[in-house]
Amino acid sequence: MTVPFLVWCNVTVQRAIATSAAIGLPIALAGSTGYMISGYGIAGLPALCIGFVYLPALLGIAFTSMLTAPMGARLAHRLPVQNLKKAFACFLLVMAARLVWSAMHR
């Protein structure tokens, strides 16, 4: 939601994407800490979990993100702004449709 808001506030798309990526880290850390605390001591969780955070998945996501973030930044600066806006709009529409679909088929 950060990118559309920043673009609405007349921030360039490239800067909005970079800012969103930068503020994503503290948001992820806060969310992960909350899941660790809220799940701490609950029986029946798999091995290698701290609360509700599964450490192998955490490491896999962090490693993959570190590898692909530079590629995404280069791509964001190379694509024309209109193409970038259209691609991001399509991504948001697909995610919204998926959320609606999953909510209707519970």
**CB of 56 closer than 8 Å to CB of 82:** no
Answer whether residue 98 is part of any domain: no
Domains contained in the chain, number: 1
Whether the per-residue pLDDT at 3 is higher than 90: the answer is no
Alpha-helical (H) ranges within the chain are: 2-8, 13-39, 55-78, 81-104
Answer whether residue 94 is part of any domain: no
Answer whether residue 103 is part of any domain: no
Answer whether residue 44 is part of any domain: yes
Answer whether residue 43 is part of any domain: yes
Query: Which structural domain range is residue 13 located in?
Result: 2-79
Q: Write the pLDDT tens digit of every residue in 37-86.
A: 999 999 999 999 999 999 999 999 999 988 998 898 888 788 888 888 88
Phi and psi for 9 in degrees, rounded to 5? -85, 20
pTM of the model: 0.66
- Whose tokens are 């605390």? That residue is 37
Answer whether residue 31 is part of any domain: yes
